[in-house]
């Protein structure tokens, strides 16, 4: 294989040159590939769809981790569902949280990422604050006795193994695992190409959170412009956290970021009109 051709859409596709193939596996009806591309660094693709690349993963991980954590301001316990590549864990652990529980369905994903995508976790799996659970994310939130201040769903797309993490049952069960005023965030696809996904999530989350919203950021290798992130909380004020408050928290954290900053944080909740039109009538 000299090129990786993405197979998401019938009439459009992205083609990536494979400069070195590190890993390819086709067990369990899943096709996982990790390769090096000259421009993007290491690229991981599952079932013909790019999941993450070293060059632009920071946009995705910073926005899905720092937006809820800085908005919350004093999250002690965080739950990550999925995220086996370790990038989300790395960003969450940069905050002074007490404990992070990560639920990954397949230990092999973590091992594979440690071996072939070591820059994603950057040592995060060694952190004593981590509790790694190998389990089905849906099962975990259904049975969990613990509560979390922030839950981050770092899943694959709804067509594929992540399907159940886009169901109303999941949002309901995850809500039950949140502390009062806690926040659930979740990756929600590229609305320009998948407008239905935005509508479905809005309807399904709306039943369980008093405040349901989306924010977005453009991740270059997710073709189609802005990626949307779903936001759900029963504390409406968190989404309206003043920029000065965010700035104070950000300054205090001492974090160096490459995409996130408090101005981007606030601006990211402003949605383009085509997304607002898709969402019209869903609340």
Partner 1 sequence: MGSRRRIVIGAAPGEAATFQALVAEYGSPLLVFNPAALQRQYHLLSNALPGVGLYYAVKAHPNAHIVRTLDELGSGFDVASAGGMEMLTELKIPGHRTIHTHPVKKDREIRDALRFGATTFVVDNPGELAKLVPYRDRVGILLRISFRSDHAAVDLSRKFGCGLDEVSGMVASAQRHGIHIKGLSFHVGSQCTTADTHVEAIEKCGELMLTTSQTTNAPLSTLDIGGGFPADYGLSGIDIDDYCRPLRKMLAALPDDWHLLAEPGRFLVAPAVTSITTVTGKSERHGVMWYYLDDGVYGSYSGQVFDHAEYPLQVLKTGDTRPSILAGPTCDSIDIIAEDIQLPELEIGDLVIGRQMGAYTAATRTRFNSLPDARFVYAGK
Number of residues engaging partner 1 in binding (CB under 8 A):
21
Distance between CA atoms of residues 6 and 222, nearest Å: 10
Parallel/antiparallel/unpaired status of strands 49-53 and 211-218: unpaired
Does residue number 85 form part of the binding site for partner 1 (CB under 8 A)? no
3-state secondary structure of 266: helix
Q: How many helices (H) and strands (E) does the chain have?
A: 11, 13
Question: CB of 196: closest distance to partner 1 in angstroms?
Answer: 6
CB of 133 to partner 1, least distance (A): 25
- Residue 139 touching partner 1 (CB under 8 A): no
Closest CB to partner 1 among residues 8, 75: 8
Name which of 14 and 119 has its Cβ closer to partner 1.
14
Instruction: Using CB under 8 A, pick the residue from 123, 160, 218, 272 that binds partner 1.
Output: 160
238 contacts partner 1 (rule: CB under 8 A): no
- Please tell me whether residue 192 adopts helix, strand or coil conformation: coil
Stretch that binds partner 1, among 137-145, 147-155, 192-200, 233-241 (CB under 8 A): 192-200
CA distance readout (Å), 179 to 55, 83, 233: 35, 22, 10
Residue 188 within binding range of partner 1, rule CB under 8 A: no
User: C-alpha angle with apex 121: 63 to 134, nearest 5 degrees?
Assistant: 100
202 near partner 1, judged by CB under 8 A: no
User: Should residue 17 be labelled a site residue for partner 1 when binding is judged by CB under 8 A?
Assistant: no
Cβ burial, residue 128 (10 Å; 0-12/13-18/19+): exposed
Interface residues with partner 1 (CB under 8 A) are 1, 5, 7-11, 13, 24, 26, 29, 31, 47-48, 159-160, 163, 193-196
């Amino acid at each position: 294989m000299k090129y990786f051709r993405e197979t998401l859409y019938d009439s459009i596709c992205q083609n990536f040159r494979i400069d070195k193939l590190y890993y390819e596996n086709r067990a369990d009806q899943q096709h996982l590939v990790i390769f090096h591309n000259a421009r993007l660094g290491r690229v991981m693709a599952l079932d013909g769809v790019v999941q993450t690349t070293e060059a632009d993963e920071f946009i995705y991980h910073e926005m899905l981790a720092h937006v809820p954590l800085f908005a919350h301001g004093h999250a002690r316990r965080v739950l990550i569902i999925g995220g086996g590549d370790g990038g989300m864990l790395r960003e969450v652990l940069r905050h002074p949280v007490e404990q992070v529980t990560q639920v990954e369905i397949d230990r092999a994903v973590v091992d594979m990422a440690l071996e072939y995508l070591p820059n994603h976790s950057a040592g995060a799996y060694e952190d004593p604050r981590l509790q790694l659970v190998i389990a089905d994310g849906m099962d975990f939130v259904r049975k969990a006795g613990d509560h979390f201040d922030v839950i981050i769903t770092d899943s694959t797309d709804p067509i594929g193994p992540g399907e159940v993490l886009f169901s109303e049952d999941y949002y309901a069960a995850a809500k039950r695992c949140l502390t009062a005023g806690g926040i659930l965030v979740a990756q929600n696809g590229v609305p320009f190409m998948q407008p239905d996904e935005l509508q479905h999530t809005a309807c399904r989350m709306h039943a369980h959170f008093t405040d349901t919203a989306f924010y977005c950021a453009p991740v270059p290798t997710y073709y189609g412009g802005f990626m949307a992130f779903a936001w759900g909380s029963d504390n409406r004020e968190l989404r309206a956290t003043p920029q000065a408050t965010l700035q104070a928290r950000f300054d205090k954290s001492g974090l160096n970021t490459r995409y996130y900053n408090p101005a981007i944080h606030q601006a990211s909740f402003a949605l383009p009109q085509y997304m607002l039109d898709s969402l019209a009538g869903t609340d």
